[in-house]
Every structure is written in structure tokens, then in C-alpha cells.
């Protein structure tokens, strides 16, 4: 096997994990949110989601460290990221059982999912246009920060419903679901979505303006 394909194998494994996480999230959606079965499904959804998210950093690190860069990986890696995070956010929006008494906001408002979808479509289209000029258009620090916050935000309600703090004997993790902290994290996530999107547009426009005309 060509060693350069190892990051691609990790990427595709992440897609399989995402599908598994979605199946468990779907079971949570279709059952009584307060039932024992629901907690079990959320438990496995949490771990599959977390492992898939962590593996995202693994394949990128391998590709950069050993120069195992491929055209497939360059396209597939961000696509799988979007499938994992946007799919999970959609399940959060569709399942009211993740909400708790005292929440300041809905766990995932539909408008926020639409905003994040629009941002991803816009950035993907812009990246395709810039790279069609032979230029590189990699993710920037704002995009990476946005992804990290999304992962944390998704993991919190999954983990709480799945009983992760008690399972790991780390009850202090319950503080992450405190209404004010959770609401603040939501608005940080939305703010980074907008900020990173605007930054991509500005950077892309500058690159297109300086690109040699055909």
C-alpha cells in the first residue's frame, strides 16, 4: 500500500464513524428523550462523533508531517468535516430532547444551521474559483477555530444526554451545560462562522484580483 494513502484511509474511516454517529443520533430523535434507551444511544453517538472529530487532526497532521499530500485528500478532508459537523448540527436542531430547563436559547436554532450551511457553500464555491486559477486557498485560523468550537458545542449536549460526566467520573463537565456558558458558546460559534466567512471572502477577492488574467 502506498503510504501516501494513509491519511486518506483515516479520512474515509472518519466518514464511516460519522454515519454511525448519525444512526445513533437518529435513534435519539425517534425515541422519548428521557428514556434509558435514549441515553444509551446518545452515549455511543458522543463517542463516535468525538473519535471522528479527533481523527480529523490526525489525518491532517500525518499529511503535513510526512508530505503525504494527495489531490483526493485535499478535497475529501474538508468535505468529510462538513458532513460530520453540519450533519450533527442538523440532528441537534431536529431533536428537542437535547434542551434543558433553564436554557437561554434553543440548543440549535434552524436559522443557525441555515447560516452555517450558507457559509460552507459560499466558501466551497469561492475555493473552487480561486483554485481554478492555479492558486492555493487553504483553511485559515478562523476557520479552524470555528471547527473546534463546533465540535465542542456538539459534544456537550450529546455527552450530557449520554451520561458522559458520570461515566468518566468527571462531574465538573456538567458545568459546560450551564445555561449562560452554553449560550455564550453558541454565540461564539455563530460569530466565528460569520467572521471566518467574511475573512474567506476578503482573502479570496484579493487573490482573484491579483491572479494573472487568462
Distance CA 97, CA 119 (A): 27
* pLDDT score for 32: 61
pLDDT range class, residue 56, cuts 50, 70, 90: confident
- The pTM of this model reads 0.88
pLDDT range class, residue 141, cuts 50, 70, 90: confident
Q: Are 31 and 38 in contact (CB under 8 A)?
A: yes
* pLDDT score for 116: 93
- Residue that wins the pLDDT comparison between 164 and 136: 164
The mean per-residue pLDDT over the stretch 88-98 comes to 91
Alpha helices in 31-69 (DSSP H): 36-65
Q: Tens of pLDDT along 6-36?
A: 777 888 888 999 999 999 999 998 876 555 5
Q: Tens of pLDDT along 145-182?
A: 999 999 999 999 999 999 999 999 999 999 999 999 99
Q: Which CATH class is domain 3-210?
A: mainly alpha
Each domain of the chain, given as residue ranges in start order, spans 3-210
Alpha-carbon torsion (192, 158, 57, 176), positive or negative: positive
Alpha helices in 66-163 (DSSP H): 71-94, 110-131, 141-161
pLDDT range class, residue 212, cuts 50, 70, 90: low
Q: Burial letters for 1-11: b for 16+ Cβ neighbours within 10 Å, e otherwise?
A: eeebebbbebb
Distance CA 134, CA 25 (A): 40
Q: Tens of pLDDT along 59-87?
A: 666 667 666 666 666 777 788 888 999 99
The mean per-residue pLDDT over the stretch 36-49 comes to 89
Average confidence score pLDDT of the chain: 85
* pLDDT score for 42: 92
- Residue that wins the pLDDT comparison between 124 and 34: 124
Q: Tens of pLDDT along 187-211?
A: 999 999 999 999 989 888 888 887 6
* pLDDT score for 123: 87
* pLDDT score for 4: 66
Q: Are 6 and 62 in contact (CB under 8 A)?
A: yes
Amino acid at each position: 500500500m502506498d503510504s501516501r494513502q494513509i491519511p486518506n484511509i483515516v479520512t474515509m474511516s472518519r466518514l464511516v464513524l460519522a454515519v454511525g454517529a448519525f444512526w445513533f443520533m437518529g435513534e435519539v430523535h425517534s425515541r422519548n428523550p428521557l428514556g434509558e434507551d435514549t441515553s444509551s444511544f446518545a452515549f455511543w453517538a458522543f463517542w463516535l462523533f468525538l473519535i471522528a472529530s479527533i481523527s480529523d487532526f490526525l489525518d491532517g497532521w500525518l499529511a503535513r508531517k510526512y508530505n503525504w499530500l494527495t489531490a483526493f485528500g485535499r478535497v475529501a478532508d474538508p468535505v468529510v468535516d462538513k458532513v460530520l459537523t453540519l450533519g450533527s448540527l442538523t440532528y441537534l436542531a431536529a431533536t428537542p430532547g437535547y434542551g434543558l430547563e433553564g436554557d437561554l436559547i434553543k440548543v440549535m436554532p434552524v436559522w443557525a444551521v441555515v447560516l452555517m450551511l450558507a457559509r460552507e457553500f459560499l466558501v466551497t464555491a469561492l475555493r473552487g474559483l480561486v483554485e481554478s486559477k492555479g492558486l492555493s486557498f487553504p483553511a485559515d485560523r478562523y476557520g479552524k477555530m470555528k471547527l473546534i468550537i463546533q465540535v465542542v458545542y456538539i459534544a456537550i449536549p450529546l455527552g450530557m444526554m449520554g451520561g458522559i460526566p458520570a461515566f468518566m467520573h468527571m462531574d465538573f463537565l456538567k458545568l459546560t451545560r450551564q445555561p449562560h456558558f452554553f449560550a455564550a458558546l453558541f454565540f461564539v460559534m455563530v460569530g466565528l462562522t460569520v467572521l471566518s466567512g467574511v475573512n474567506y471572502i476578503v482573502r479570496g477577492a484579493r487573490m482573484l484580483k491579483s491572479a494573472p488574467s487568462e
